[in-house]
Structures are given as structure tokens and as C-alpha cells.
A and B are shown apart, each in its own frame.
Chain A
Amino acid sequence: MPLSGIEIYKLLPKSNCKECKFPTCLAFAMKLAQKQAELSACPYVSEEAKQALDAAARPPIRLVTVGANPKSFQVGNEVVLFRHEKTFYHPTALVVRVSDSDSADSIANRVKEATTYTVERVGHNMGLQGIAIQNKSGDKAAFARCAQQVQSLTDLPLMLMASDPGTMEAALEKAAAQKPLLYAATRDNWQPMAALAKKYQCPVAICEPGGLQPLSDLTEQVSKTGVEDIVLDPGVRDFNGSLVSLTQIRRLALKSNFRPLGYPVITFPSEAASSLEEEALLAGQQIAKYASIVVLDHFSPEMVYPLLTLRMNIYTDPQKPIQVTPGVYPFGNPKPTSPLLVTTNFSLTYFSVAGEVESSGFPSWLMVTDTEGLSVLTSWAAGKFDAPKIAKTVKEFKISEMVSHQSLILPGAVAVLRGELEEELSGWKVMVGPRDAVDIGSYLKRSWTS
């Protein structure tokens, strides 16, 4: 269990010597509790304290790395059931599955598509995390060949899916350097699978559909062989079953500190879906409710884009609201004569303004000022959304080259900035817009004539 700041403080020297670069031992302890500092920064902690802190810091859900440099992803190490309690740390990895029974061409296409897919959202690039290769052919050589082919086409981490250890090893001989995830150790093959995981130093998934007790038992057995990087597949596929078993696994790990189930979980939404849309919806549920790796059987941008967006939403740190990249955003093909509105880069502010501008029907420019993620009034009060800052942004993004009218619309809540802003931006006309974003549409209708 993690310790509170005061509990950690009691273990520190209490000399307030500041060598850790914090003003007091308590300040340092509080940062440690928030995982924003390293214990090693204090040269004076006792051995005893170190041990106590290490034990408390041991993650209840193991952090597992799939893949090797330069491309790999990490999952697990989550500490809460609900994102508001802290944050979800390691976004669900979305993996696309190909089958060794498909034609080499179609495999190549799918792999290339998945590898190159990237989509931008509020200044962040999102993409997929890996390729899973299913041994559907039942043929060892075909599987190995497929693994080799995929490996040559992508640098995304791989997941090898075969139930026969011999087949698995055949592929591993080609792809082991990339540290693929092995799927899966089962009650029938766990010994040789565990041996492979150990020999090739790869993470392994354990699949046991018989319930959490048998899954836990199997995991214990595998981990006793010295394999530590484990991913769980409780084998339950449908909406409700998946929700329930993933919730229980997460609760057991976090609330009961139950080690045998303290591992990330993998799901296969398509196996319970009757359509692509349903696969997307189930994948969506699993992104929010506790899957660390989701294997998709279909890949289409209109399905992946909403899922990546959902993942971004859910894995945003609620303590650190996501910031929109400052800049000028066009809405509906604006012209140099279109209105220019100004706002801050707090995502919620941006979204409400953007939503209203979008639905106002007026093609417009929206200039987002860097207020370090604060809303209009908060940033104004903190001196981060003032006339010099706005003027600087106007100059930085060369806005006078984009709009011909040299006027901008200020949020109504900071009408006081108008005079000063007109001084800072000589030749510009500063208009005061509405206080609430919902009134943007009617404001533009009323006041935008040029």
C-alpha cells in the first residue's frame, strides 16, 4: 500500500537540510508520495527507511514491456479503479491481428496499414501499438515464415499466437530479438510455454477460461518457474462477462493486494462481436474498464480513430488537464475576412469554444493562447492571459498575415484587457465577445459584419 506524505516524512531525517532540493523534508515526502521525486535524492535516508519505502512502492499490478528498442510498449502498473482517484498510467495497447493462413499480400497490406496509421488530435499523434500473428494454419513453417515476413515489414512490437510450443519456438527463432508477447500458456502447455518465455526472455500471456481461481493457480505455477512478465487472459469474451471479470481482477490486485492476479489483462473484442461496430463498442468498454491490451481483428480508420480518441480521453491525467497546442485553428474553411476569436489552451475551454464556433456556421479562426492549461478567468487571475501574452501570440503565429481585418474577439470575461491590448497591438481593433461560449453563435450573427 502506498504511504502518505506524513507517513513517509516520519521515515526521513527531519533535518530540513534542503539537499534534496526541496525546502523541507515534509515537502520532499509529499512529492515522494505523489511519485514526483526519487528517494535517492535524499543522501541521508536510513537503510530501514529505504526498505519500508521500497516495499510500499512495489506496484500492485506489474509493469510489463512488450517489444524491444526502438519500439516497445508498456502496460500495467495501474494503481486505481477509477481514473479520478489518480490517473490511469499506461494507455491500453491496441494490437491488430493477422493470420498465417492469409495470403502474403493481404498480410503485407494489413501490416503496412496498421504500422503507418497515425492520426493527429489536439497536437498529439496517435497510432497502434502492435501486430498479433495468429497460427491459424496449424503449420509450424507457415507460422515462422509469417512471423519473419511481419517482422520485416514493421517495427511495431509483435505478439505470437500459437498453442503448440514447437510452433511457437519456430517463430521465436526468427523474432525473439523483438521480445514478442507469447500467447498463450494454458493449463495444457504451460510448462513448455513458460520455458520458452524464460529461454527467450519474452513476456507471456496466460489464458485460462475456467474462472479466476484456476487462472490464479496457473499464474502462480508459471511465476514459480521464474517468469515474471505475465499478461492475463481470463477467457471471458462477452460484454458483461468481460466487464465483470476485468473489474474483479483489478479489484483483487488493488484492493486485496492479491499478487497472482496483479498483471495486465488482454482482450479480444471481435470474438464476441457480430459486427465491426460491435467490436468497436466492446473494445471501447475494455479501454475504459481495465484491459491493457486489446486485440482487434478488423482495422479501419473510422473504427480506430474513435477508439484512439477514447483512449486519449480515458488516459488523460485528470489532475493535469490536457492542453491544446497553442496556435491558430481554422473552422469551416475560413477566409482572411473571417472572424478571429481568442481563447486559452485549457482543453475544456477550447472544446466548448470550438464546439460553438463549429456549430455557429461561421467559418472562423480560433487563436489558442498558451495559458498552461488554465481556463480564461483562472489564467487571467494568474497573470497568464494578459495583453502582452495575447499580443505575443498574435505576432508569433503571424496572424496579421492570415486575417485582413486586423480585429480580434476577446472572451467577455476578460473585457478589461481590451484597452491594454489595443495599445500592445497597434492598428488592431479589439472586440469583446460573450462571456459564455454558448452565446458565440448569436454574438457572431449580431456583431460580425465585415
Chain B
Amino acid sequence: MPAVELPVQKWPGRIHEVTLGGNGRKKVVVGGEATLPFLHFEGAIPHRPAIAIEVHDRNPAEWAENLRQVWGSALKSPAAWAKKASELGADLIALRLSSAHPENGNTGAEAAKKNVAQVLEAVDLPVIVLGPEVAEKDNEVLMAAAEAARGQRLAIGDCMEKNYRTIAAACIANGHVAIGKTPIEINLAKQLNILISDVGVSRDAILMDPTTGALGYGLEYSYSVMERLRLAGLQGDAMTAMPMICTVGEEAWRQKEARVSEGVPTTWGQAKERAILWEGITAISLLEAGADIVVLRHPRSVELARATIDKLMAGAGQRSA
């Protein structure tokens, strides 16, 4: 009988470890993997992937009713919202400064400072601060946030190809981690990492967001780009070995399948459950492709993701024969 020789792949590279928080606040470390997601038998996975809950600095009227209901009055203040998120088991708070968007209030640096401070005050979790994704406004509010939270080691994003210099510089000056975001393409992701490194951000202070495609809306592109980035990083390419963050909630809840309950085919099934699975399956798929942080919206998806990560991490430390 032929003998089974289990193929154990030894990777020359390792994913950079990135620490968020600390300095009095809880610490979350991501990255450090020496193997593909959850294949504990062939290499160390020192840190479990982290779950961030998305919080906004304004009451997002455009959110699906289902979501608005579960969060209830917490939506009214970012501090209360963050607090509730923390109670529901978030590892991180992802604060999106969407009120700075020109069409959502166009608030500026002052409001950003205030909101970031309030959230930092309300929870002891590490915080991710995201801009409204309008280049000039991002520069304005993220600089302010970076200064306001000096030394708290936030993750700040997004650095895009257009404006990475300003935000990266603010991260260096105030001791934060920079998030580079690129449109679902492996080379662009790597290029931005190189550019951000070239301006002086150290490798343990960069996260990459390769852009999330939700289930049914380009998931396969994100999935493969992330697998490839992870493979390249493990093969020793330091410029693709950054931990990855995915804005799963935002993308999943943008889609009809998660938002709409009426006027859709009956074959789509019951709306509430479907929405949660839409977010949940997107999250788990991307975790298995290499995500180190998933940003989620619905408490039930958070619960499911957490339980799944527990199970996937169950093999940690044990080596199979």
C-alpha cells in the first residue's frame, strides 16, 4: 500500500505583525502568520483574526431597517454605539467619519476630533478610523483624527494612490497604523505598500485593504486577489506581507439581497436570515482567503463569525501527524 506522506509546506516568508491599541487601551495584534489561513499543522498562526464592528459618527438613515432596528438608539451617538458594539463582542471599533462627506453634513476637522475622542473615551478597544472616501475630506478629517488620538495606535484609512502621502505622514507623526486601499488588483496593492513604505511608514504599521467584493458582487475577485497576496507574502515578498482588512459589512449590506425584503423572488427566502448569511458567508470566505480583520455590521453576523473563528483556530498549537 502506498504510504501517505502529508505534504507540509514550509514558507520562507511570514506576514508582518501589526499591533493596534496598547498604551492603556486593550491591545490587538494581527498578522504574524507563517502559513495559509488556519492550516495550523504546517506553520504558526500566532493571532486570531479580529472582528471590528462598524460605527458611524452620524445616524445612518440609509442603512437597512433590519440593521437600524438591532442597533436602535445606539445609532444616535458614536460613543453609545461603540459601547454597545464592545459589549456585543467586537475586538475593534471601526469608526467611519461619514459625517464629513459633502453630502452627509460635510463636517470638518473639529467634529472629527470630537467624535474620535468620544469613542476612545467610551471603549477601551483599539479603534480603526476611516474617512468618508472623498480624497480632500479624508485628508482633512483623518489628519485631525490622527492628531487627536496621538499615541493610541489607531489604524487610519484609507490611504489611496492619490493621497497616501498626507495620511501616511500623519500616521508616522502620531504613531498610528496606515491602511492602504486599492481596487481589487494584486499589483496595485503591492505598489501602494511600496509607496507607503517609501515615505517612511514601517512594515509593522501598514494594513492593506484590497477592496471587498460582497457575495455575488465580485466576491471571487477579492477572494483570489487576497489568496494571491497571502501566497506572495508567504513566499517571502515583504511588500505583500501586510495583514489584510476587509469592509465586509459595508459591502454586503449595500446589496439588494441584504437590504430588500419585499418585491424580490420568493426563491430568495426569508429576508432577515438571508441578510445575515450574506454578510456571514462573505466574511468567512474572506477569512479563509487571508483576511486578518473583518469589519461587520450585524450583531448576529459578529456572533457567527466569532464562533467560526473559534472553531477554525481550534487546531492552533497542535500539529497533525
Contact = CB atoms under 8 A, between A and B. Distances in A.
Does chain A touch chain B in the assembled complex, meaning CB atoms less than 8 Å apart?
A: yes
Interface of A: 82-84, 117-121, 211-213, 216-217, 220, 238-241, 243-244, 247-248, 251-252, 255-256, 258-261, 276-278, 280-281, 284-285, 288-289, 300-307, 309-310, 312-314, 316, 318, 333, 347-348, 351-352, 354-355, 358-359, 361, 438, 441-442, 445
Given A256-B7, A302-B269, A348-B218, A358 B256 contact: yes
Contacts of A121: 216
B288 to A, nearest CB: 6
B274 A318 contact: no
B223 A302 contact: no
A438 B269 contact: no
Given A238-B311, A278-B307, A361-B62, A84 B227 contact: yes
Nearest to A438: B133
A220 B7 contact: no
A86 B133 CA distance: 34
Given A351-B213, A359-B62, A278 B304 contact: yes
Nearest to A352: B218
B12 interface: no
Contacts of A118: 267
Interface string B299-315: 01000100110011111
A313 B223 contact: yes
A361 to B, nearest CB: 7
Contacts of A252: 4, 6-7
Given A216-B1, A251-B7, A259-B2, 8 more contacts: A84-B224, A118-B267, A213-B4, A238-B314, A252-B7, A305-B267, A305-B269, A306-B274
A82 B224 contact: yes
A306 B40 contact: no
Contact of B39 (A211, A247, A301, A309): A247
B237 interface: no
Interface in B241-258: 254-257
B7 to A, nearest CB: 5
Interface of B: 1-7, 38-41, 62, 102-103, 133, 184, 213, 215-221, 223-224, 227-228, 231, 254-257, 259, 263, 265-271, 273-274, 276-278, 280-281, 284-285, 288, 300, 304, 307-308, 311-315, 320-321
A281 B220 contact: no
B312 A119 contact: no
B4 A240 contact: no
A259 B2 CA distance: 9
A359 B254 contact: yes
A300 B269 contact: yes
Nearest to B268: A305
A309 B216 contact: yes
11 contacts: A84-B228, A216-B2, A244-B315, A248-B6, A252-B4, A301-B266, A306-B216, A309-B216, A313-B216, A358-B259, A442-B102
A284 B216 CA distance: 13
Contact of A83 (B38, B103, B218, B224): B224
B224 A302 contact: no
A91 to B, nearest CB: 13
The 3 closest A-B pairs by CB, nearest first: A302-B269, A301-B269, A302-B274
A224 to B, nearest CB: 10
B183 to A, nearest CB: 9
Given A213-B3, A220-B1, A280 B281 contact: yes
B39 A314 contact: no
Nearest to B224: A84
Nearest to A117: B267
A441 B133 CA distance: 14
B220 A83 contact: yes
Contacts of A117: 267
Contact of B215 (A261, A289, A300, A313): A313
B280 A277 contact: yes
A147 B99 CA distance: 61
A146 to B, nearest CB: 27
Contacts of A256: 5, 7
Nearest to B265: A119
Contacts of A213: 3-4
B10 to A, nearest CB: 14
Contacts of A351: 213, 217-218
Contacts of A306: 215-216, 257, 274, 277-278, 281
A83 B5 CA distance: 24
Contacts of B313: 240
Nearest to B278: A306
Contact of B284 (A255, A284, A309): A284
A200 B267 CA distance: 36
B281 A284 contact: yes
Nearest to A126: B267
A281 B254 contact: no
Contact of A442 (B62, B103, B263): B103
Contact of A310 (B227, B256, B263, B281): B281
Contact of A240 (B3, B38, B223, B300): B38
A314 B220 contact: yes
B40 A255 contact: no
Nearest to B270: A302
Contacts of A284: 281, 284-285
Contact of A355 (B39, B255, B267): B255
A240 B269 contact: no
Contacts of B284: 281, 284-285
Given A239-B311, A314-B223, A442-B103, A347 B218 contact: yes
Contacts of A442: 102-103
Contact of B320 (A244, A304, A313): A244
A217 B300 CA distance: 43
Contacts of A303: 269, 273, 277
A240 B314 contact: yes
A87 B130 CA distance: 35
Q: Which of A255, A256, A310, A354 has the most CB of B within 10 A?
A: A310
